[in-house]
Structure formats: structure tokens, C-alpha cells
């Protein structure tokens, strides 16, 4: 069973969140140590951006040139479902402040899917849109077109 630590009770540091999330998710055939090393390298690449909201760490790569307002990333989460939604809203607001207009992520599992579907409904009355697609290997892709309207606060 996944270990959930509410950021309302205890605020973890980013490396601990990433380690715990990788242990819980598995690393698609790699050891956790290999996955941690990969994330560490990914975080040092040019264009890398790491942000923590609650007990969720977002690691993304920002595009260059014509794609400078686009990011591709992933979330490492050990927070509660409600807090995860609030953390995602905080992250989208952070991306708005950075003038990011498009954000893409991939994820697996129906639990995360349900949370992203709730996020999709939460931003429905704004100029931000969340789209979800499914890959051939039954993972999911989330795509956010980020507008300028204020986003909902605290679910």
C-alpha cells in the first residue's frame, strides 16, 4: 500500500518525496537507485525546472525557441488526494507566472486518472483546459493549455 503523508501534518523535503514516490510507483524494470540517478540527472539538464507544492514535487523541462512557453514534466506525489489537487492548482498558477502556456505529463494508474479528471472539472470555468489521452500501453497523457484566468484555490 502506498504511503501517504499529508502535507497538512508533515512537510517533506523534495528528495524524500521523489524517493518515496519512485518506491511506490516502481521504475519500469529499473532499480529505485537507477531511477533516482536518472531523476537527479534530469533535474540538472538545461531547461529543467523543479517546484514543490505540499508533498508533491514537479520536475519539468522547458522548451527553447518557439517552444519556450511549453513544458513537459512529471509529478512525484506522496500527499493526500485533496492536497494533490491543491498542489496541482498551485503548480498551474506557478506555470502561469512563468508564462508557460502548455504543459504535458504522462502518468499511470486509475487513481491518478480520477484526480486529473477532477482537476479537469475544477478548471472548467476558466480559460485553462485539461485534456487526457490514453497510450497504447494503457498509460495516460495529460495536456494542459494554460490560460490567464485566476485558477480555483483550495479544493
Distance CA 142, CA 114 (A): 12
Could you state, in order of their start, the residue ranges of all structural domains in the chain? 14-145
The 10 Å Cβ neighbour count of residue 153 is 9
Confidence of residue 155 (pLDDT cuts 50, 70, 90): confident
Q: Give the span between the Cα atoms of 28 and 93, in whole angstroms.
A: 31
The residues with which 87 forms a beta bridge, in sequence order, are none
| For range 6-28, the mean pLDDT | 89
Model confidence at 134, pLDDT cuts 50, 70, 90, reads very high
Q: Decide which of 111 and 71 is more confident.
A: 71
Segment 40-52 shows an average pLDDT of: 94
Report the chain's terminal Cα–Cα distance, integer Å: 25
Instruction: Evaluate whether 90 touches 125 at the Cβ level (below 8 Å).
Output: no
Domain 14-145: give its CATH code: 3.40.630.30
Q: What is the pLDDT of residues 92-120, one digit of tens each?
A: 999 999 999 999 999 988 999 999 999 99
Cell numbers describing residue 144: 494542459
For residue 1, pLDDT beyond 70: no
Amino acid at each position: 500500500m502506498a504511503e501517504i503523508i499529508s502535507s497538512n501534518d508533515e512537510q517533506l523535503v523534495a528528495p524524500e518525496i521523489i524517493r518515496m514516490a519512485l518506491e511506490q510507483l516502481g521504475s519500469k524494470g529499473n532499480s529505485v537507485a537507477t531511477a533516482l540517478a536518472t531523476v537527479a540527472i534530469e533535474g540538472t539538464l538545461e531547461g529543467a525546472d523543479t517546484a514543490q507544492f505540499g508533498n508533491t514535487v514537479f520536475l519539468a523541462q522547458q522548451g527553447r525557441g518557439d517552444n519556450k512557453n511549453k513544458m513537459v514534466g512529471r509529478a512525484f506525489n506522496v500527499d493526500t488526494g485533496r492536497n494533490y489537487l491543491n498542489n496541482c492548482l498551485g503548480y498551474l498558477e506557478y506555470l502561469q507566472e512563468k508564462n508557460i502556456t502548455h504543459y504535458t505529463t504522462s502518468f499511470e494508474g486509475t487513481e491518478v486518472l480520477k484526480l486529473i479528471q477532477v482537476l479537469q472539472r475544477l478548471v472548467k470555468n476558466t480559460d485553462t483546459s485539461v485534456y487526457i489521452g490514453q497510450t497504447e500501453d494503457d498509460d495516460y497523457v495529460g495536456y494542459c493549455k494554460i490560460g490567464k484566468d485566476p485558477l480555483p484555490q483550495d479544493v
